[in-house]
Copies of this chain bind each other. A is one copy, B any other.
Amino acid sequence: MPRDGTATRERILDVAERLMTDQGYNATSLDQVIAASDSSKGAFFHHFRSKSDLALQLVERYVRADLAHLEEGLAAVADIDDPAARAVAFVRHFEDGADELMAAQSGCLYATVLAERELVGTEIDAQIAKATVAWRDAFADLLRPALAAAPRHVVVDAEHLADHLYTTFEGGFILCRTFTDPSLMRAQLQVFRQLLESLLTSGP
């Protein structure tokens, strides 16, 4: 076997992810990616069949990292016994990591590729939906016992409430971009955590 190309491949993926989440999919040209990754046309098309193939491989890698973050969050609250406290702590875990998240990335790759209709209906969609469902299911499992044990009868749908975390993340990214202020992500996650705390712990 000849020389190892995984380093080049990773470098291209890293650069492409940064550029595309920053500027958008179509706004990022392959020449730009190639130049920024100190690579070449030949190297690029050796590792990727096309630009949309790059997008797919990018999303697959992003999904893996996303699901890892989910597992990390679940593990961090697994030892909390009280259902309500556990669900709230789960959100707080990401609230605490918000600043770090925004320092690492200026947007979400999901929103980036979903903004371009040409990538919809492909394998990319399925990957994003898969990850989003994983978050919904996992968080809903935390929420259901908490909702059942709430001081007052709560009629909120657990899955829609679980989806609201994804909504807060995605909406938070856009809010941050609107005001060029990364700290607003933490603020929005905090608001959601406080709202959830009120729902799950306050009496009638």
- Residue A166 contacts which of B157, B161, B175 (CB distance < 8 angstroms)? B175
Please count how many residues in chain A sit with their CB below 8 Å of the partner chain's CB atoms: 55
Q: Is A110 an interface residue (CB 8 A)?
A: yes
Q: Is A46 an interface residue (CB 8 A)?
A: no
By the criterion CB–CB under 8 Å, are B177 and A167 in contact?
no
B198 contacts A27, CB within 8 Å?
A: no
**In the complex, which residues of chain B have a beta carbon less than 8 angstroms from the beta carbon of A73?**
none
CA separation between A128 and B168, bound complex, in Å? Answer: 19
Shortest Cβ distance from residue A84 to the other chain B in the assembled complex, whole angstroms:
13
- Which residues from B are CB-within-8-Å of A36? none
A195 interface neighbour in B187, B190, B196, Cβ under 8 Å: B196
Q: Does A71 contact B (CB under 8 A)?
A: no
Chain B proximity of A162: nearest CB distance (Å): 9
Q: Lowest 5 CB-CB distances: which A-B pairs, in order? A: A171-B171, A167-B171, A26-B26, A195-B195, A202-B202
